[in-house]
């Protein structure tokens, strides 16, 4: 990271009592996440998950940040970007790290973030007739209703799983 970004980015490294190591950095430019993905791929790492979140003071408009959690040989690295005001767009890292696919699609669907250049941008859970706005947040409990039946499978795949009834 230091070789790629220099002093623009500072990494904070921590270690717990069991010798698990993790690092965290804030990227000043959202475009930098693509370079991080290239570095992770070069070390045969993967995306663990991607976490979009709103933050800010109570009396000011909330800002959207995205934390990308990577694993490289058992070391967790989190790189966080803050999206520019009013621009909920980020470049897809799925072409570099296939493990980002589901997370980026979910981010588009549930957080109204445009993931530019995603190879398969179709929705995972919500019906296409539902139009989200930048202020819309979909609770996970709503998206996952039916997760203990075939309903979730049908939402993801678009049809009932072959050989299974509605309640199996």
Dump pLDDT digits (tens) for 121-145.
888 777 777 766 656 655 555 555 5
Q: What is the CATH number of domain 2-118?
A: 3.30.460.80
Per-domain boundaries in the chain = 2-118
If you ran DSSP here, which 8-state letter would residue 130 be given?
A: P
Total residue count of the chain as it appears in this document: 168
8 Å CB contact between 50 and 59: no
What are the tens digits of pLDDT across the range 53-88?
888 777 777 788 999 999 999 999 999 999 887 788
Q: Strand pairing partners for 2?
A: none
- pTM recorded for the entire structure: 0.76
CA–CA separation, 147 vs 71, rounded Å? 27
The neighbour count for residue 12, using CB atoms within 10 Å, is 10
Distances in Å between the Cα of 22 and the Cα atoms of 31, 44, 76, 114, 139 are 23, 17, 5, 29, 29
Question: Which of these ranges, 7-11, 15-19, 46-50, 126-130, has the smallest mean pLDDT?
Answer: 126-130
What are the tens digits of pLDDT across the range 89-99?
999 999 999 99
């Amino acid at each position: 990271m230091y070789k790629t970004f220099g002093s623009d980015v500072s990494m904070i490294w921590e270690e717990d009592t069991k010798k698990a190591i993790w690092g965290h950095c804030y990227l000043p430019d959202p475009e930098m996440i693509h370079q991080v993905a290239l570095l992770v791929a070069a070390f045969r790492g993967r995306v663990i998950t991607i976490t979009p979140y709103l933050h800010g003071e109570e009396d000011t408009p909330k800002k959207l940040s995205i934390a990308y959690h990577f694993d490289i040989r058992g070391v967790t690295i989190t790189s966080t970007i803050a999206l520019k005001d009013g621009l909920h767009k980020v470049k897809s890292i799925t072409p570099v790290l296939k493990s980002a696919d589901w997370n980026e699609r979910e981010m588009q669907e549930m957080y109204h973030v445009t993931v530019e250049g995603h190879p398969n941008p179709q929705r995972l859970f919500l019906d296409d007739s539902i139009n989200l706005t930048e202020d819309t947040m979909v609770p996970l409990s709503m998206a996952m209703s039916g997760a203990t039946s075939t309903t979730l499978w049908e939402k993801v795949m678009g049809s009932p799983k072959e050989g299974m009834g509605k309640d199996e």
